A and B are shown apart, each in its own frame.
Chain A
Amino acid sequence: MKSRFIYLMPLLIFIGLFIVVFIRLQMPIDPHEIPTALLNQPIPQFEITLLNNEKQSLSTKDFMGHVSILNVWATWCVTCREDHELLMKLAKSEPLIIYGLNYKDSKQESLAWLARLGNPYRKVGFDQQGRVAIDWGVYGTPETFIIDKTGLIRYRHTGPLTESVWKKEIKPLIVELQA
């Protein structure tokens, strides 16, 4: 009977492989999304000058004591436009503290964009070299982080913010964190 089992082995291995791949195909995973290593970690120590004022800065301190949102954006990023629309709406209607990080962009164009489309951000850091973004583990624009009162990163969203993401994921989390 032992030799029979040997002939069965290939089939068993194949069925094992099949089950794993089948389950994987049923899972709604975007192969391009990379989970952040910074989830539930304190935000990085950083300080960066503001887009509209070289004398002032955005730094780790700004995130302490309240729930805040950090949105990484650039004018060359097409989907950031959608983010911006939603953020404008939220800035008007909700009691939120939104910070921006302007990523690898030109100062002039970024200021012009804010003047034209409105400024939902309390402060916008100007990260021309993309160094602060590396500290935040950013790998593309737009990216949005939710930071709790103690300065821990609780959520990261990559890609455009949509109404449904806001309603289903972000808002409940913010309400919970603010309580």
Chain B
Amino acid sequence: MKIKNILLLITSIFLMTQVYYAAAVTTDIYPFKNTQQEERFSVLLQNLRCLVCQNQNLADSNAPLAEDLRQQIYEMVIKGDSDDEIIKYLLKRYGKFILFKPDLDPNTYLLWIGPFILFLMAGIAFGRFVYRRRM
């Protein structure tokens, strides 16, 4: 029980420091009317590659092109474009390289399904091995 108490204490401390947005004094660089839009914007940026950087997403990059693309995506989100429309817009201009999470298509079947097939195969091999060595 002691352990549980400690854990509860820890989590309750966490809950005390749990925070919510307070009234802002300053202007956000990308102000949104609602949290859904804000959430979508941030997820989109995290899933898109900054083309000129080595391996950064659009959210993290300080490159000028990344800033322009952020602005472009921001305006599209505000305008009410769907994620699909925004991704399509970018794909048309920059190609698949911009997506950090590749679409499922014939070229990426192996990438997406491979790990799970491997897991299954390994599981079967493991099961057979253990079965043969059972006491």
Would A and B touch once assembled, by the CB under 8 A criterion? yes
Q: Which residues of B contact A104 (CB under 8 A)?
A: 64, 68
A139: shortest Cβ distance to chain B, in Å? 4
A137 to B90, CA, bound (A): 8
B95 x A139 contact (CB < 8 A): no
0/1 string, B74-112, CB within 8 A of A gives 1: 000000000000000001111111000000000000000
Q: Is A57 interfacial (CB-CB < 8 Å)?
A: no
Across the two chains, which residue of chain B brings its CB closest to A35? B95
A37 x B95 contact (CB < 8 A): yes
Q: Is B59 interfacial (CB-CB < 8 Å)?
A: no
Q: Which single member of A41, A44, A134 contacts B68 (CB below 8 Å)? A: A134
Q: Is A36 interfacial (CB-CB < 8 Å)?
A: yes
With A34-B51, A131-B72: A136-B93 Cβ-Cβ less than 8 Å: yes
Q: Which single member of A35, A129, A134, A140 contacts B93 (CB below 8 Å)? A: A134
Q: Is B65 interfacial (CB-CB < 8 Å)?
A: yes
A139 x B72 contact (CB < 8 A): no
The tally of residues in A whose CB lies under 8 Å from a CB in B reads 18
Q: Is B52 interfacial (CB-CB < 8 Å)?
A: yes
With A130-B64, A134-B72: A139-B51 Cβ-Cβ less than 8 Å: yes
Q: Which residues of B contact A136 (CB under 8 A)?
A: 93
A38 to B64, CA, bound (A): 22
B94 x A34 contact (CB < 8 A): yes
Q: Which residues of B contact A34 (CB under 8 A)?
A: 51, 94-95, 97
A130 to B51, CA, bound (A): 15
B68 x A131 contact (CB < 8 A): yes
Residues of A within 8 A of B (CB): 34-38, 41, 44, 104, 129-131, 133-137, 139-140
